[in-house]
Amino acid sequence: MIKNINYLFVTFFGLGTVRFAPGTITSLVTTILLFSLFHIIELSSNLILILLLIICIYSFFAIANYIKESENKDPKEIVIDEFVGQSIPIYLYEIAHNTKENLQETFLYYFYIFILFRFFDIKKPFPINKFDKNFKNSFGVLADDIIAGLYVVLTLIIFMIIKTKLF
């Protein structure tokens, strides 16, 4: 039973088993899910943070348990790391802005966040590539996506600074 729950968790309810672009699909579903939580259901940002922290912490254990008996230490079907990495810039964007007043801008930034996260997650610039290559465990699986999410945050901060200075 625990093994089945763990499998559903690390594959994000089976999205990781999709043949074409499971990471991208999971990132897109994550984006839609978080938009729904913030803007349709209107959960408090504190409750969302607690949920995201629980998912992140449990991910370390779930991934470690899943790959324990596997020769491949970063199987493609594990996509909970995409959920965690994609959640970071979306959550930080939401708490940094009052997005309830301007949904058009929110859609635009969610799109930017999605594209930037996929870019950094696929291209794996330094130091993401070091974590991806050197840590063949649950830490390495999660760390590269967490850093990709932080790169998105840094990129958006730079973009917003330039935007306010030029426009």
Q: What's the Cα-to-Cα distance from 35 to each of 9, 65, 136, rounded to whole Å?
A: 20, 30, 32
Query: How big is the CA angle at 60 (ends 66 and 86), to the nearest 5 degrees?
Result: 105
Average pLDDT over residues 107-122: 96
Please tell me the distance from the alpha carbon of residue 138 to that of residue 136, in angstroms, as a whole number.
7
Q: What percent of the chain has pLDDT over 90?
A: 68
pLDDT digits (tens, 9 = 90+) for 36-91: 999 999 999 999 999 999 999 999 999 999 888 777 666 889 999 999 999 999 99
pLDDT digits (tens, 9 = 90+) for 142-156: 999 999 999 999 999
Closest CA to 64 of 52, 81, 49, 82: 81
Q: Which residues contact 58 (CB under 8 A, 6 or more apart)?
A: 9
Provide the pLDDT for residue 163. 84
Please tell me the distance from the alpha carbon of residue 96 to that of residue 108, in angstroms, as a whole number.
15
Question: Is pLDDT at 16 greater than 70 in this prediction?
Answer: yes
pTM (predicted TM-score): 0.91
Closest CA to 48 of 87, 103, 8: 87
Provide the 3-class DSSP secondary structure of residue 3: helix
